[in-house]
Structure 1
Amino acid sequence: MEDKLTTEKYWESYYKHSHVNKKHITTVCSYYDRIWNVFIKDNDEKKSVIEIGGFPGRYLAYQYKLKPTCLDYNSYITQIEGSFKVMDVPKYHIVQEDFTKFKPQTSYDYVMSNGFIEHFENYDTILDLHVKYMSDQGRLLVMIPNMRGYIKFYKYMVDYKNLKVHNLKCMKLQVFENFAKRNNLSLLFLDYYGGFPLGVHQKNNLIQKLIYKGHRLFFKYFANEILEKHSSKYFSSAIVGIFEKKK
């Protein structure tokens, strides 16, 4: 299953700067509080949660009342450990393995996957592997970026290097509807989510900087307020799906 669009080296470079900061973790993760409230039905320390591709651990650390396990092949585990420490999470488990090859030894009440499947050509196969980690009546949360619609045009102009390591074919609601049917899962939530993704992951020339600043002014100070209330497949930054094993 060697059809990854990224490498371990890519991710170690992508996260080379430390993200271990309580304010930063809270700011990033609280943006999805509405999603957490749907996903987690029993925020109990006896319940287990695993994040697939969980580096640098901020989403797991934010859900501090659950028993967290982070599965990731990134070798910089000190950032994961730092995230748990700064969020006062005393007990956690780190599995440093390649998800495509690893065989789970246990199942989990909650499974999270954030920004993961879109880095593979065979995203349907990768999605199906997530189900192996779900306990009976377990829940799965999948969040991926949305880079279709107008966002693709914007990324092509100012963030092309980042765009090309993502598989845009999986960025459709139908992919997740089919996944739920294929694996006999109940679909609890599925929609586009968030404002316009302004972030850029490369150095830009003067024209690109002007394009970026123009979009930043328009979306940050006007359009994103609308998108936060009314999601759009053309402009919203993410797709979020929440699934549950049927009884």
Structure 2
Amino acid sequence: MDNLLTDRQFWVNYWESKTGLSVNIPANYLFHKELASIINTQNVKTAIELGGFPGYYAVFLKKYFKLDVTLLDYFVHQPVTNSLLQANNLKESDIHIIETDLFNHKEVQQYDLVLSCGLIEHFNDTADIIQRHIDFVKPGGTLFITLPNFKALNGWFQKSFDKDNYDKHNISCMDPDLLAGICQSAGLKVKQAKYFGYFSLWLENEKQKPAGVRLFKKSVWLAGKLFTKVFAFNSRQLSPYIILEAVKPK
């Protein structure tokens, strides 16, 4: 089976369908506490975001932590990234950009922090794509991976109302124990592998969905938010994300 669940044209179409990409990244951006803890305790100076176009986390790390940051993706539309940098009072030179296919990239520099947010689930061979992340991690450095949890209610929404998008994801990899096991087998020390977040729902290009779908999604979203405000806990059934943090031995 082909390892790729998407191709370059998919991502060209995906990003060309988006508007409002140049946003001001806030200090409390998603996963900010986890990233701050890694940076402050591990003396992180360099970082690379894999598969991260237009570079939200690269911008976040440069803007708030002044790291030496690189963005690697096999689709980078430079004007979009430049506009994002400008929206966050950064210069074009503040982020190193590598536009390449991760599977053909030979000259691998290593970094204190290697992260991807929503990348590994687009590949069938989870161990292989994680190993490609690990190759970028310095000895003593940290690997930080996040991905959506489509085994939760949010996944049912994707499958029911956006099957094409759902089918672009490897659902079987959405398992913290599986991810932890892959890292342990590669010799890393797993700091955490868990479901993350109390509840959320989203649909790609939601404004293009029928009004009934949008209303139903909003109703369930509100009900879920009220429920998890009272009963706040991470769970496979409701948490929208999975996070993995592991350290490579020195």
**Does the alignment reach a TM-score above 0.5?**
yes
Whether the 8 Å contact between 1:157 and 1:208 is mirrored in structure 2 is: no
Whether the 8 Å contact between 1:39 and 1:141 is mirrored in structure 2 is: no
| Per-residue CA distance 1:103-159 (angstroms, 9 max, x = gap) | 233211110111001001112111111111011101110000000033332222223
TM-score using structure 1 length: 0.88
Q: How does 1:1-247 map to 2 (within 5 A)?
A: 2-16=2-16, 17-22=19-24, 25-26=25-26, 30-41=29-40, 47-64=45-62, 65-90=66-91, 91-202=94-205, 203-220=208-225, 222-226=226-230, 229-247=232-250
Superposed displacement of residue 31, structure 1: 2.8
Instruction: Between 90-99 and 151-160, report the one with greater CA deviation.
Output: 151-160
Superposed displacement of residue 43, structure 1: 8.3
- With over 3 angstroms needed to count, the CA separation of the structure-2 counterparts of 1:58 and 1:35, relative to structure 1, is same
Distance in 1 of aligned mates of 2:4 and 2:171: 14
- CA RMSD, aligned part only? 2.2
Q: Which amino acid aligns with 1:53?
A: G
Distance in 2 of aligned mates of 1:215 and 1:189: 30
Distance in 1 of aligned mates of 2:228 and 2:9: 34
- With over 3 angstroms needed to count, the CA separation of the structure-2 counterparts of 1:89 and 1:136, relative to structure 1, is farther
Aligned residues: 241
Distance in 2 of aligned mates of 1:179 and 1:226: 35
Distance in 2 of aligned mates of 1:15 and 1:101: 23
- With over 3 angstroms needed to count, the CA separation of the structure-2 counterparts of 1:208 and 1:86, relative to structure 1, is closer
Q: Which amino acid aligns with 1:151?
A: N
Distance in 2 of aligned mates of 1:19 and 1:113: 18
| Runs of 4 or more consecutive aligned structure 1 residues displaced over 4 Å after TM superposition | none
Whether the 8 Å contact between 2:54 and 2:76 is mirrored in structure 1 is: no
Query: Which ranges of structure 1 fall in alignment gaps of 5 or more residues?
Result: none
- With over 3 angstroms needed to count, the CA separation of the structure-2 counterparts of 1:169 and 1:83, relative to structure 1, is same
Percent identity of paired positions between Structure 1 and Structure 2: 25
Whether the 8 Å contact between 2:199 and 2:224 is mirrored in structure 1 is: yes
Distance in 2 of aligned mates of 1:179 and 1:195: 25
Distance in 1 of aligned mates of 2:11 and 2:133: 21
